[in-house]
Structures are given as structure tokens and as C-alpha cells.
Amino acid sequence: MEIINLGESDGLPPVDWAAVVEQLAAGSAPAPDAVNSRTTWLSTVNEDGSPHVTAVGAMWLDGTFWFQTGTGTRKWRNVARDPRCSIAVSIRNADVVIEGDAARLPNRARWRVLRRRGLTTAGRSNPTAVGRALLPRSTHRRKDHPPWHMYRIEPRSAIVTLAAEPGGLTRFRF
């Protein structure tokens, strides 16, 4: 991993990637009881090259983000055509952006991921638990769920900005 301290000219120390990963794995909220405490934002590339940014349910597992999307959604069309994307989330005292490529998992691999996270029972998914982990809150109540596809972001880089003293801004290339 290459570490580039973007705050060095301001006398800021590099961000500790291991501490960031620990907070991502713990599902650290940016502030206790924050209204948007776990909103993750997915940015994909529209057909005309413009960006598309949307809130998405996502989870951090095995060193990267995983998300689901339904067939026919704009994000599904975008990653099917061009897998380049980024995902952004705020954690306690930091903002994190992961850039990479979305890779769709076949159903068999999808169930292995869900089992590791404890989101399956008897070989079938637990829709309530899966929904809480991966789907935006607004979709939990919908009855017309399309078929869902799970994606793993193959990370190329990450940028972390620390909000707490002493601060810091670091790019990590994987």
C-alpha cells in the first residue's frame, strides 16, 4: 500500500489506515445519535460521463464495501456498463472515500458473504437483517423489491480526512 500524506505541507501527520479500518468494521457513526449516522453515498458514471450520486445501503466486510442494487436502477445500469465507482461515508471524526471498481457477485458467493455476516438462516437470507445491513431505510417498507444483485467494490484508493485534532488528509493506494 502506498501512503501519500496530503496534509504534510500543513504539518499534519498521516492518517492511520488501521484505525480507520477498525472504525469501518465497527460501523462507527460520525456522532452519537446522528440523524445520518450511517448514510453511505455511491457515485457511479452515467452513460454521458456525468456523475450519479445516490445514498446506498452498504456494509464493510473483508476490507471493502459491499452494496446491493436492483435490476433496472440507474446505479445497476451504470456499474453494468462502467464498473468505476466510489463510495463515501462518515465515521467518528473522519470522512472516508473509497474509489474502485464494482464487481458483481454470483448468487453462491453472495450467500457466503451474507453467512459470514450472520445474515442468513438455514441457507436462505433473512430479508429483515439483509435489509438493515445493505438497503437504505426507505426501501425496508417497500413490497415491490426487484431482484437484488450484490456488488463488492475492488478498491484502488482511499482518501481519509480527519475532523478531529490534529487533523489529517491522506490518500492510500492499494
- Given this model, what pLDDT does residue 65 score? 93
- Given this model, what pLDDT does residue 54 score? 95
Number of domains the chain contains: 1
Amino acid identity for residue 8 in this structure: E
Q: Which residue matches cell numbers 480507520?
A: 20
Sign of the CA dihedral running 96, 3, 23, 117? positive
Cell of 23: 472504525
Q: Which residue matches cell numbers 469501518?
A: 24
Query: How far out from the chain centre does Cα 23 lie?
Result: 13
Query: How far out from the chain centre does Cα 84 lie?
Result: 13
**Which residues are registered as beta bridge partners of 26?**
none
Q: Which domain holds residue 110?
A: 2-30+38-173
- Given this model, what pLDDT does residue 42 score? 97
| CATH number, domain containing residue 56 | 2.30.110.10
Sign of the CA dihedral running 55, 59, 63, 68? negative
Is the pTM here over 0.85, yes or no? no
**Which residues are registered as beta bridge partners of 153?**
102
- Helices and strands in the chain: count of H runs, count of E runs: 4, 11
For the chain, report the end-to-end CA distance as a whole number of angstroms: 5
- Given this model, what pLDDT does residue 141 score? 45
**Which residues are registered as beta bridge partners of 25?**
none
- Given this model, what pLDDT does residue 57 score? 84
Amino acid identity for residue 96 in this structure: V
- Given this model, what pLDDT does residue 88 score? 96
- Given this model, what pLDDT does residue 168 score? 95
Average pLDDT across each block of 10 residues of the chain; the chain has 174 residues. List them in order.
97 96 88 70 97 92 87 93 96 94 79 60 45 46 58 95 92 98
Cis ω for the linkage preceding 13 (within 30 of 0): no
**Which residues are registered as beta bridge partners of 34?**
none
State the burial class of residue 136 (Cβ atoms within 10 Å of its Cβ: 0-12, 13-18, 19+).
middle
